[in-house]
Amino acid sequence: MVKSILIICIICSLVSCVNDIKEVDKILDQVGDPKTDIGEDITMTYSDSSIVQVFLQSPALEKHNDPRDPKEVFPKGIKITFMDHTGKPTAWLKSDHAVRNTNLGKMIVKGNVEFYNVQQDKLETSELIWDENQRKLTTEKFVKVSRPISRDTTYGFGFETDDKFETIIIKRKIQSKLDASRLSNAFAN
């Protein structure tokens, strides 16, 4: 009796090992590309010599692990906080989408890009390139720079600044709105 039960179990296990190719394909499709890691509610901290310099948050990350072209894609946007050497936030960057080329140390952010600092200076543009190694942010696109403390707004094409948003260069200005009282005082002296 024990022998017949054992034979029935072996036959059942052999029959149950038959795989339907459609089922296998369905499972593999759910797994996705093995060269891509996917994450949600991402928080990344970048540091140099144990000093936190950048804090990044994103609702989603697709990390492409191709050795020839590794990149991190943030399809649902990002928020980056830049910090000084003491860990104090100095500037913030937000966008709807971002792609970071890990080999080059460059990130391209697109869609409703806003970059602002503690003085509430604010850059608005459609695209911005952050060079992590040179610690610069640039674009050739249309920009609007608002400086509420000095009550100035400048529009132009092309922009460059450091990652603290302290030194601002607008390459081709097309219009500026300045506080008239500051101009009067400048001409009076």
Q: E-strand spans in the chain?
A: 36-48, 51-64, 71-74, 78-83, 89-95, 97-101, 106-117, 122-131, 136-147, 152-162, 168-177
Is 171 within the bounds of a domain? yes
Q: How many structural domains does the chain have?
A: 1
Residue 178 · residue 160 · CB < 8 Å? no
The per-residue pLDDT for range 122-171, each reduced to its tens digit, is: 999 999 999 988 989 999 999 999 989 888 888 999 999 988 888 888 88
Read off the CATH number of the domain in which 91 is found: 2.60.450.10
Is 30 within the bounds of a domain? no
Closest CA to 105 of 61, 57, 54: 54
Is 61 within the bounds of a domain? yes
Is 42 within the bounds of a domain? yes
> What is the bridge-based pairing of β-strands 136-147 and 97-101?
unpaired
Closest CA to 63 of 100, 104, 27: 100
Is 102 within the bounds of a domain? yes
Q: For residue 107, give its domain range.
A: 35-179
The per-residue pLDDT for range 28-56, each reduced to its tens digit, is: 554 555 688 888 999 988 887 777 888 99
pTM over 0.75: no
Residue 130 · residue 137 · CB < 8 Å? yes
